[in-house]
Chains A and B, each alone.
Chain A
Amino acid sequence: MEVLAESASLSPAKPANVARRRSRAARGAGVRPTPLRSEPAGAVSPDSREVALVERARGGDRGAFGELYERFAPMVHAVLLGRIAAREARDLVQDVFVAALARLPQLEEPGRFGAWLAAIARNRANDALRATRPESSLDAEPGAGSAASAGAAASIPTEKAEDADEAARVLAALRELPEAYRETLAMRLVEGLSGRVIAARTGLTYGSVRVNLCRGMKLLRERLTDGKVG
């Protein structure tokens, strides 16, 4: 059944533990990653399917727009999360796509859709930041030791509350990194995108993504170790 065969490849990613199980199986079978040093230095071009999806979406194809949403929403969310509170970031993802949809006819290069979308996301996040009241600042992220989280923490096991606090501390540290590192690391550590996927989605070269991840991770480690957060 062709429909089913395709659906298998389109099914959303299996939860992390199963993905890891497959990953171990692949390693056990002797599958090796492509040596990184052989990677071409140029940009990872968006695949032809993505370009086709953009073209179809511009023509009003709702299914194509839906697929673009599925592919790019994590990237957009990572860009937003690097700037604004988690709850607002979730809400703004949809706004970013609606804005993109309205402006899609103005996009001159379909192959630059990801970079274009990220720029819209940054602008939207900046708008939101300007409109943000002090009491809903990033510092009030759930789990950051806020009064709101204290009540919630009282009803969940201590270990989970500590994890939440630690997560909020790490996110705060990540947000203090330079923009390029912050966004790329959020895509990798929060959304679980690989370097190659990040390159394809953002239009950055694979080499740039690699540098951003490695240098960003080094800075993040230093900040977390030194406690230079907030």
Chain B
Amino acid sequence: MSERDPDAYLVDQTGPPDPEVARLEGLLGRYALGADARPAASPGPDEAQASYLVSPRILRGTLAVAASFVAAMLLLRALRPAPPVWSVHGLPGVERIARGEWLDVPREAGLGVSIEAGDLGEVRLEPGARVRLDDEGRERHSLYLERGAARATIVARPREFEIGTPAGLSVDLGCRYDVVVDPSDGASTVRVLTGMVAFEAEGRTAFVPAGYETRALPGAGPFVPVHSAESPELVAWVRAVEREPALTSEQLQTVAEVSDDVVLYHLLRAVSRELREAALTRLVEVEGAASGPPPEGVLDDDEAWLAWHETVLGTAFRRR
């Protein structure tokens, strides 16, 4: 019979949680690099274990880390000379891609095909991917991904680089992310590894922070982003309610169980007015704010509301 190590949780985070260690983790976690900079209550260990959905404050935490990352990347970029052209690597016989040209990555190609996007970073292309360079000059640089998968690692100022797809435009806000286009229907998935992407189409914008993903269909715009490891139950609920004008009381009540402020934020643009109001109430709760803007502001999309959201969620610097 093996002897249980009493320090297993403290040292390796294994075994039953030590209540005192867990309490201190809960208290001190607010100071973590990826956590909210402002003081806020962390769930106790019991509460956290019983929690069903995503932790609150993830968006602000992500933004804090992303902002530092992007700032460091920009400094790094300033220290290096900029490559003069968009060059292609890993594809024999193809050394560069010019504006308006298409690049087809053969299915038998290796995994090392990439485009060096000027001095902005790199875009890796999967076998089978097809892209066109739509570089529009110094202010805006873009690729159009018609099909296949691409991973962008971009060291650019927010909104300086974007990847278009049949279903929308993923605008880089300083990050690393994947874009995948299904060749059968043009459905596009954006999954963010670091930083944040704004996925825009049909008048809708999904802000996708690190760890989250969203999907869009041509003509339909992006769906509410969800964490890549989110429970299927929550994803199914979000998809069922976000564009539904008439919701059941049961569907509305579920809002009270959502703790993911990324989801709640995007539900403020849901079709159902009742859902928008419920999401606002819940967002104020999980943010720990004393009060939010009047619901009318949310519904009218007015400036006061936008100012409040930028203050609370800290996305002001990311807006165009």
Contact = CB atoms under 8 A, between A and B. Distances in A.
A40 interface: no
Interface stretch (A44-52, A64-72, A108-116, A123-131): A64-72
A155 B290 contact: yes
Find the residue from B41, B51, B58 having the highest chain A CB count within 10 A: B41
Nearest to B155: A62
Could you say which interface size class chain B belongs to? Answer: 35 or more
A4 B149 contact: yes
Interface in B1-16: 2, 5, 7-8, 10-15
Contacts of B68: 69, 73, 90, 93-94
Contacts, number: 210
Contacts of B211: 11-14
Interface string A140-173: 0011000001001001110111011011101100
Interface residues of A, number: 76
B302 interface: no
A25 interface: no
B43 A93 contact: no
Contacts of B71: 94
A42 interface: no
B236 interface: no
Contacts of A101: 72, 75-76, 79
Contacts of B210: 11-12
Given A69-B68, A93-B33, A195-B11, 12 more contacts: A2-B111, A4-B178, A11-B210, A35-B5, A98-B72, A98-B75, A101-B72, A170-B28, A174-B28, A189-B24, A192-B25, A217-B21
A190 B7 contact: no
Given A2-B126, A90-B68, A214-B7, A160 B33 contact: no
Given A62-B73, A163-B41, A189-B24, A18 B229 contact: yes
A35 B2 contact: yes
Which 6 pairs between the two chains have the least Cβ-Cβ distance? A164-B39, A15-B55, A160-B41, A33-B14, A17-B51, A195-B11
B251 interface: no
20 contacts: A3-B151, A3-B178, A4-B191, A7-B193, A11-B210, A12-B210, A15-B58, A15-B227, A23-B13, A36-B12, A62-B121, A87-B37, A101-B79, A161-B39, A166-B27, A174-B28, A189-B29, A190-B29, A195-B11, A213-B11
Contacts of A97: 72
A122 interface: no
B214 interface: no
B122 interface: yes
A221 interface: yes
B77 interface: yes
Contacts of A73: 33, 65, 68-69
Interface string A81-93: 1000011001001
From DSSP, what is the main secondary structure of chain A's interface residues? helix
B126 to A, nearest CB: 5
B55 A17 contact: yes
Interface of B: 2, 5, 7-8, 10-15, 20-21, 24-25, 27-34, 37-43, 48-49, 51, 53-55, 58, 62, 64-65, 68-69, 71-73, 75-77, 79-80, 111, 121-122, 124, 126, 149-151, 153, 155, 176, 178, 180, 191, 193-194, 210-211, 227-229, 288, 290
B29 A16 contact: yes
A121 interface: no
Contact of B10 (A65, A90, A163, A213): A213
Interface of A: 1-4, 7-8, 10-18, 20-21, 23-24, 33, 35-36, 60, 62-63, 65-66, 69-70, 73-74, 77, 81, 86-87, 90, 93-94, 97-98, 101-102, 142-143, 149, 152, 155-157, 159-161, 163-164, 166-168, 170-171, 174, 186, 188-192, 194-196, 209-210, 213-214, 217, 220-221
Given A17-B54, A101-B79, A142 B39 contact: yes
Given A35-B2, A73-B33, A167 B149 contact: no
A90 B37 contact: yes
A155 B55 CA distance: 22
B229 A66 contact: no
A167 B72 contact: no
A33 B12 contact: yes
Contact of B30 (A1, A3, A35, A167): A167
Given A62-B73, A66-B69, A190 B31 contact: yes
A88 to B, nearest CB: 11
